A and B are shown apart, each in its own frame.
Chain A
């Protein structure tokens, strides 16, 4: 397994310029293949192909207009990209823990989740898998549900609310400074009686 980090710019481009519901999966697949020995050139080629394919497979009005003015659009997109990268503050970047010398955050204050009325009535027990950015200050932001029971019990909302209250010891970056990291977090729901 290769210890180095996949091309950051390519990953960023993929995450921001590929339209579709499977961005995270394709990024994960590319990272897995890269860690498995695929080259940087292969990684870049796959990223660019993914962006172009997603761009051309969508039939929106915007896409049709962009297709009509391909050359101008490419220049406009390139300029926009350069400006965006230049304006982007490095401190807002979220790393992935365990990659490129970035550590993992740890829990400092993580109280158990509260139950919604309907979840309590349904005696729900189980886990909700969330993804969040743990900031350099140790707060959870950009929280989203990856997997939940999806039974309309309000468990996902309670899990998000709970994670918002949690405090973390932030992850250490390669330079030894705290950095923001994107991590999966599981919030477990257990009924008080089952303790």
Chain B
């Protein structure tokens, strides 16, 4: 079996949001999308800490935008999912599906 670290809950959420947002994925839209879908406020700090971790693993790649005055002269950092990242998300989905199957305790429950 290959050495693989499966994605954690929040990591998976961030990866899925990055795929969903496409080219406009930076801190604020990512936070907004997660908040909309999950219904809870998330901190930008958690998102960036997760993105830094995913970047170290080679699952996302950053691209620096232009600095703007409404951001106090700071540039946006856009993130996109790498090919390795897409494979990792698919693999996590496959594993979760397998684990989910045949659980009688959860059958018929509305999630």
Contact = CB atoms under 8 A, between A and B. Distances in A.
Interface of A: 1, 6, 18, 20-22, 24-33, 35, 45-46, 49-54, 57, 96-99, 129, 131, 146-147, 182-184
A53 B50 CA distance: 10
B67 interface: yes
B73 interface: yes
A41 B47 CA distance: 19
B44 A32 contact: no
Nearest to B74: A28
A147 B64 contact: yes
A97 B45 contact: no
Contacts of A57: 49, 53
B45 A31 contact: no
Interface in B10-64: 26-28, 43-46, 48-49, 51-53, 55, 64
B67 A131 contact: yes
A146 B72 contact: no
Q: From B27, B53, B66, name the one whose CB has the most chain A CB atoms within 10 angstroms.
A: B27
Nearest to A1: B70
Given A1-B70, A28-B71, A32-B28, 7 more contacts: A25-B75, A29-B76, A31-B72, A32-B70, A35-B70, A53-B45, A147-B75
B71 A54 contact: no
Contact of B49 (A45, A46, A54): A54
Interface residues of B, number: 25
Contact of A22 (B28, B73, B77): B77
Nearest to B32: A33
Contacts, number: 95
Contact of B45 (A52, A129, A183): A52
B75 A24 contact: yes
Given A50-B44, A53-B45, A147-B64, A24 B51 contact: no
A183 B73 CA distance: 6
A46 B45 contact: yes
A100 B53 CA distance: 35
Given A53-B43, A131-B67, A26 B48 contact: yes
B69 interface: yes
A1 B58 CA distance: 37
A123 B72 CA distance: 34
Contacts of B46: 49, 53
Nearest to B63: A147
Given A22-B51, A29-B26, A98-B69, A51 B45 contact: yes
Contacts of B64: 146-147
B45 A26 contact: yes
Q: Which 5 A-B pairs have the closest CB atoms?
A: A50-B45, A28-B74, A28-B71, A49-B43, A29-B27
